[in-house]
Amino acid sequence: MPLSPLDLTITTDDIRRYHDRGVWISPALFDAQEVAALRQEVLRICRGERDFDGLHWLSPPNYPEDSPALRQVCNGWWINRAMREVIKTPVIGYIGSVLMQTDEVRVWHDQILCKPGLGPAGTGEPAGNVGWHQDYAHWQCANTANFCTAWVALQETDLSNGGMRTIVGSHHWGLCDDAATFGEHDLAALKAKYRQAGRDWIDEPCLLQAGQASFHHALTFHGSGPNLSTAPRLSFVIHMMPADCGFTQHGRHHPNADLLGPYVQEGDRFTGPYFPRIWPPVESRLHTP
């Protein structure tokens, strides 16, 4: 079983560290057996396999087997039985509630990620890179930037296999212009773009053991470089929002806004079956949020 909230103590220093730095590293939340099982599910999802009749969100994955590109599937919980349970892991929702300072946490969406191993000769191949970006720059249809993301490693993860890197304290810069750059690959050019006078660019890798997670703020700049190992780097991500997160028409469009239906109004909250509550925990049922 994943680590229980009862077995985890988040200290005031931990909370201060998150709010000062924009990122906090958890202890291991999943054991070796769980990690091994989840690795297989991530690979299945990235191959396009489904456990339910429902369709993939937006489009099914379609990656040539030899492609060096990052495999990304969002809302894997829609089509995979294990992920449908994993997104409800109580300790992840609990940590999100503490760091976002909210009594209720809901899922914005998940991400299932597989970064192919290029080997030591892959330094010049940018296709697996994730550009420096701010999550909230992609999510401006929401009326708050108070999101928290759990990035769960499914193997030992560091710079050698393209682990995530954060720019410490960058969430204090506010929302930067044109920072919706997840899909861009030139990390040096993006650094030059966002590094401005008075901003300390402190590039720090999230060094994680298998089953550990990093938690970062939606305004924290982050990205990643190539996987120079010979094995795929696997992870899953849960983007979390507080209960009061609502729709606004005044920001960048995101497909999540479409899930609110045709009668959405300014301020309507992101609730309902597409945005399941994960804290406080609800009874685990297969087909309901």
Residue 7 domain-assigned? Answer: no
Residue 1 domain-assigned? Answer: no
| Host domain of residue 91 | 27-270
**Which segments within 202-257 are labelled E, that is strand?**
203-205, 213-217, 222-224, 233-242
Residue 287 domain-assigned? Answer: no
Residue 202 domain-assigned? Answer: yes
Residue 51 domain-assigned? Answer: yes
Residue 9 domain-assigned? Answer: no
| Residue 68: per-residue pLDDT | 96
Calpha distance 245→260 (Å, rounded): 13
Cα distances from 75 to residues 30, 56, 86, 100, 271, in angstroms, run 20, 8, 12, 22, 15
- If you ran DSSP here, which 8-state letter would residue 158 be given? S
Residue 277 domain-assigned? Answer: no
| Residue owning tokens 């810069």 | 173
**Angle subtended at Cα 186 by Cα 158 and Cα 155, rounded to the nearest 5 degrees:** 20
| Residue 264: per-residue pLDDT | 97
| Residue 196: per-residue pLDDT | 86
Tokens read off for 283: 């009874």
| Residue 289: per-residue pLDDT | 43
CATH (domain of 206): 2.60.120.620
| Residue 284: per-residue pLDDT | 43
Q: Which residues of the chain have pLDDT under 70?
A: 283-289
Residue 11 domain-assigned? Answer: no
| Residue owning tokens 């720090």 | 204
| Residue 283: per-residue pLDDT | 61
Q: How many domains does the chain have?
A: 1
The model's pLDDT over 124-156, given as tens digits with 9 standing for 90+, comes to: 999 999 999 999 999 999 999 999 999 999 999
